[in-house]
Amino acid sequence: MKKLLVLFVAALMLFTCTFAFVGCGENTLIVYTNAFFAPFEYYQGRKIVGVDVDVMKLVGEKLDKKVKFVNVDFQAIVPAVSEGVLCDAGAAGITITTSRQEQVDFSTPYYKSVQYVIYKATNNQVATTTATNGKTVVLWESLAGMKIGVQTDTTGHLYVGDEIDGGVLAQTNAECTPFSDAQLAVDAIGANQMDVVVVDELPAQWICNKNTQYVCAPLYYDADTATEEEYAICVTKGNQALLDAINEVLAELGKDGIDQLVKKHMGLED
């Protein structure tokens, strides 16, 4: 009986460690991500790589800890980090929003992005215009009546929902359909289930560079106003040591360092 009890306790501890990474691995930082958001995180074979991975590896070196990235649905990241049981941080090109700030602590911003529209190069229904800065852009109003794919719980999802609920797309029969990742949303364009996809700048460029049947352009409200946002890494509230280490790494890298990592993972290194 005693032997059985020991085996039971051992099995219970193994089970607990499997589902509570943080408590069982004090020398390991568990980082939740969504590995379908290149160049910030993506799969290279079975390995998760990307800009955020490189940044968090530097954080691990600073704290003398291993770093483990775990791929989860994007919408699960902030709630999990907020609870602080299964993971220590979230890094997935996460945009700082007021509602998210109520749940987690954010690092200093490290990248500024804008929303892009992806569509078939042969789709003449998507009208483009020239912004004041000379860029070829798509205005929100040109998406009227279209079937719009987004990644669930991203800022693209929020923006499209807002415009359909009470913005320029209201009462135009425009529809918003969320997908678990941007590539699946774009695949739906290929299957003629979606007209366009709204997603962040670099993931949009990544997808279009890989498949030339698609093109993309920045999404603007008017000739002067883009849909801008800032990325940051989130940690459980009160984890000041980890937050400080992340901010130190971001400060050491600076804008040039982050830009270099972006070029590296976009395959644009000099």
Homologous superfamily (CATH) of 2-111+230-266 is Periplasmic binding protein-like II (3.40.190.10)
CA–CA distances in Å: residue 48 to residues 39, 67, 84, 85, 265: 11, 12, 22, 22, 12
Res. 9: pLDDT tops 90: no
Helix or strand run (H / E) with residue 235: strand 228-235
Residue 20 has pLDDT above 50, yes or no: no
- Residue-range domain boundaries for the chain: 2-111+230-266, 113-229
pLDDT value of position 21: 40
Residue 24 has pLDDT above 60, yes or no: no
State both tokens at 110: 């490290």
The reply to whether domains 2-111+230-266 and 113-229 share a CATH topology is yes
Position 11 pLDDT exceeds 70: no
The pLDDT of residue 267: 85
105-150: per-residue pLDDT in tens?
999 999 999 999 999 999 999 999 999 999 999 999 999 999 999 9
Residue 270 pLDDT grade (very low, low, confident, very high; cuts 50, 70, 90) = low
User: What does the alpha-carbon distance between residue 11 and residue 5 come to, in Å, rounded to a whole number?
Assistant: 10
Q: Is the pTM of this model over 0.85?
A: no
Query: 113-229 belongs to which homologous superfamily?
Result: Periplasmic binding protein-like II (3.40.190.10)
